[in-house]
């Protein structure tokens, strides 16, 4: 189930974000988290199964018709089960009127989702 990020999920969200190759540096990671918490265009979603948060998708949805997928990450223990693709589909279903596009860090996987 896709849920919206809230502060009580900060640690698990940072852990998931840190799997993105460009978010390995702790300062960069903290800045990214801060932006998701303060910039209303930046929106973070988590994938919850039973009581576990095992995935994350971060988007930037501005005032135009496009949504950029900035971050996508799945807990390594749960990869290759289709969760990444399911999360992308669930986020797209939340904004049916928008056109989705990857950024340089998510393009490789989004090509697999028939999006890029």
Ligand X SMILES: CC(C)(COP(=O)(O)OP(=O)(O)OC[C@H]1O[C@@H](n2cnc3c(N)ncnc32)[C@H](O)[C@@H]1OP(=O)(O)O)[C@@H](O)C(=O)NCCC(=O)NCCS
Give the footprint of ligand X on this chain (CB under 6 A): 19-21, 72-74, 79-85, 105-106, 108-109, 112
Structural contact between residues 12 and 53, judged by C-beta atoms closer than 8 angstroms: yes
42: burial class by Cβ within 10 Å (0-12, 13-18, 19+)?
A: buried
Nearest distance from C-beta of residue 54 to ligand X, angstroms: 9
Nearer to ligand X, 43 or 106 (CB): 106
Is beta strand 66-74 parallel, antiparallel or unpaired with respect to 99-102? Answer: parallel
Rank residues 98 and 105 by Cβ distance to ligand X and give the closer one: 105
Q: Which is nearer to ligand X, 91 or 97 (CB)?
A: 91
Q: Smallest distance, Å, CB 63 to ligand X?
A: 26
Using an 8 Å Cβ cutoff, are 115 and 87 in contact? no
Measured at CB, which residue is nearest to ligand X? 84
Quote the least distance from Cβ 85 to ligand X, whole Å: 4
Nearest approach, Cβ of 116 to ligand X (angstroms)?
Answer: 10
Q: What is the DSSP letter of 1?
A: -
* Six-digit token string for 95: 């904004």
Q: What's the token pair of residue 19?
A: 């799997």
Nearer to ligand X by Cβ, of 60 and 83: the residue is: 83
């Amino acid at each position: 189930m896709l849920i919206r990020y809230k502060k009580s999920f900060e640690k698990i969200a940072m852990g998931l974000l840190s799997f993105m190759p460009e978010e390995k540096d702790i300062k960069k990671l903290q800045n990214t988290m801060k932006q998701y918490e303060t910039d209303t265009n930046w929106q973070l979603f988590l994938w919850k199964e039973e009581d576990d948060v095992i995935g994350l998708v971060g988007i930037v949805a501005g005032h135009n018709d496009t949504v950029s997928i900035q971050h996508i990450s799945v807990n390594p223990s749960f990869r290759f089960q289709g969760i990444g693709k399911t999360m992308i589909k669930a986020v797209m279903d939340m904004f049916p009127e928008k056109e989705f596009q990857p950024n340089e860090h998510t393009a490789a996987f989004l090509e697999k989702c028939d999006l890029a």
